[in-house]
Amino acid sequence: MEFQSTGIDSAVEPLALEALAELGRLGDQIAELAAHLNAATARLLDLIREFDARGGWSHGFRSCAAWLTWRVGFSPTTAREHVRVARAMGSLPLLAQALARGELSYSKVRELSRVAQPETEAQLLAMGRAGTAEHVERLVRAWRRVDSKAEAREAAQQHASRSLQVYPDEDGTVRIRGRLAPEVGALLLKALAAARETLYQRGRDEAPEADPPTLEQQQADALGLLAEAALHHELDPGAPGERYQVVVHVDAAVLADAEAPGQSVLEDGGRAPAGASQRLACDASRVIMRHDADGRVVEVSARTRTIPPALRRALQYRDGGCRFPGCGVRFGQGHHIQHWAQGGPTTLSNLAILCRRHHRAVHEEGVTVERKADGELRFRGPAGQPLPEVPPAPWVADDPLGVLRTWNRVAGAKLHAHTATPGWLGERFDVGYAIDVLHPRARESSPTSS
């Protein structure tokens, strides 16, 4: 039996080939644009690293990641990752250059930056160029497992040397020195990092142009916050509450005007800055003591809360957390927009929730807040610059891709559809062999060839 061709196949084949060619061109456009985005991301990371190092975020924000969340619209996790990778690129120039040339994707660089060190950067870069993003993720997971095993071998030695010494110095400060078990130390470091992110700021107590706090100063501030948070959450619920209170004696005139003469001291006689006393008095227990002309106490009132419990609950329900733009911390302190010592009422309309970090910024760092006629809050930085709840949208060109191509061309990046194509040819990826060859500790533990 014979079949005759109808001519349909010969007509369909050119159409199918043309469709495949069109898909190929579409794929090339995607790959080329991705390479341009990789190069642009490298520039973005450079800008973030410089902005972070110069403290451009410190006019009220607790970290560079918090500023990115507010200003750029990144999620908190994405913002933290961009800051981490940006910092890592400062010491990993080979990876940074490969990203700037569009040769590696941001996903690959992000993973490699978790384990890369200057001495292993070149080998890991070669792996990034040769393998896919999936290969890189598997390699990094295995790399970190080797690191974990090496750390576990050292744990027994560290455990035996754990200790903690806390003692007062001659000038009244407290010195701390110790060594903690690994799991306790990891917990403390994570807690300090979280507290440091909440508190970190440029020290502008004396002058706006003052240098940022050192890492050691940040750690000290973070430890203070951890102690305060532990007591706030009733670390020892069986002990009397009075035992853990911090008492400040401050004159009424000083509460009303930080520049007025008068005392502002801790219970043990240590000096408390007037701004700090005003901040503490916003949301605290209050006992009014009256003195005669000779300084003797003649009357002591009952202890009351500056913000009654019912009003405090209503305030927390209304605000839900810190009202500073871009903050989002869910717990905080009640702030009197006009201080009660200056005649401000203790009412919902004159109150706002601020986290510890931003409450300090308002009272002691020059940040101001006021409530507008429509009930919304208006924050301003120390220089009077507005800090809106939602920042203005940036200008975007009518042809953003054309701008991006021009920008990368001027920067010397030669980008095309195969700039970021890996060298992988489909062969099986042996992650164990890759670790044995690349990881320094794996090479050290391998038997010497005869």
| Position 8 pLDDT exceeds 60 | no
| Position 430 pLDDT exceeds 70 | yes
For residues 365 and 433, membership in a common domain is answered with: no
Structure tokens at 330: 């869910």
What is the structure's pLDDT at 149? 65
Coil, strand or helix at 286: strand
The reply to whether 220 falls in a domain is: no
For residues 52 and 119, membership in a common domain is answered with: yes
Q: What domain range includes position 195?
A: 161-167+175-204
Cα distances (Å, whole numbers) of residue 25 to 108, 122, 275 = 25, 33, 65
198 or 201, greater pLDDT: 198
Whether 62 contacts 18, CB under 8 Å:
no
For residues 143 and 71, membership in a common domain is answered with: yes
For residues 139 and 38, membership in a common domain is answered with: yes
Q: State which H helix or E strand residue 391 sits in.
A: none
Q: What is the average pLDDT across 296-325?
A: 83
| Position 51 pLDDT exceeds 90 | yes
Rounded to two decimals, the pTM is 0.57
The reply to whether 262 falls in a domain is: yes
For residues 358 and 403, membership in a common domain is answered with: no
| Position 360 pLDDT exceeds 90 | no
The reply to whether 235 falls in a domain is: no
What is the structure's pLDDT at 207? 40
For residues 144 and 189, membership in a common domain is answered with: no
For residues 145 and 107, membership in a common domain is answered with: yes
Q: What is the pLDDT of residues 145-190, one digit of tens each?
A: 777 666 566 655 666 678 888 888 777 788 899 887 656 776 788 8
The reply to whether 219 falls in a domain is: no
For residues 120 and 185, membership in a common domain is answered with: no
DSSP assigned state of 448: P
For residues 374 and 404, membership in a common domain is answered with: no
For residues 145 and 37, membership in a common domain is answered with: yes
- Name the most confidently modeled range: 179-193, 237-251, 421-435: 179-193
Q: What is the pLDDT of residues 106-134, one digit of tens each?
A: 999 999 999 898 988 998 998 888 888 88
Coil, strand or helix at 404: helix
Structure tokens at 289: 């003591």
Q: What percent of the chain has pLDDT over 70?
A: 77
SS (H, E, C) 88-134: HHCCCHHHHHHHHCCCCCHHHHHHHCCCCCCCCHHHHHHHHHHCCHH
Phi, psi (deg, nearest 5) at residue 273: -55, 145
What is the structure's pLDDT at 214? 83
In whole angstroms, what is the distance from residue 2 CA to residue 11 CA? 21
Longest dimension (CA), the chain: 128
Cα distances (Å, whole numbers) of residue 201 to 77, 193, 386 = 20, 14, 19
For residues 365 and 334, membership in a common domain is answered with: yes
| Position 23 pLDDT exceeds 50 | yes
Least confident of 175-189, 334-348, 386-400: 386-400
Q: pLDDT band for position 7 (50/70/90)?
A: low
- The letter for the amino acid at 74 is F
The reply to whether 19 falls in a domain is: yes
Coil, strand or helix at 271: strand
Q: pLDDT band for position 206 (50/70/90)?
A: very low
Cβ burial of 175 (10 Å; 0-12, 13-18, 19+) is exposed
Whether 359 contacts 279, CB under 8 Å:
yes
The reply to whether 16 falls in a domain is: yes
Domain count, the chain: 3
Q: What is the pLDDT of residues 412-422, one digit of tens each?
A: 777 777 776 67
The reply to whether 83 falls in a domain is: yes
- Residue whose entry in the numeric block shows the structure tokens 């003649």: 298
What is the structure's pLDDT at 153? 61
Coil, strand or helix at 175: strand
For residues 184 and 318, membership in a common domain is answered with: no
The reply to whether 117 falls in a domain is: yes
Q: pLDDT band for position 4 (50/70/90)?
A: low
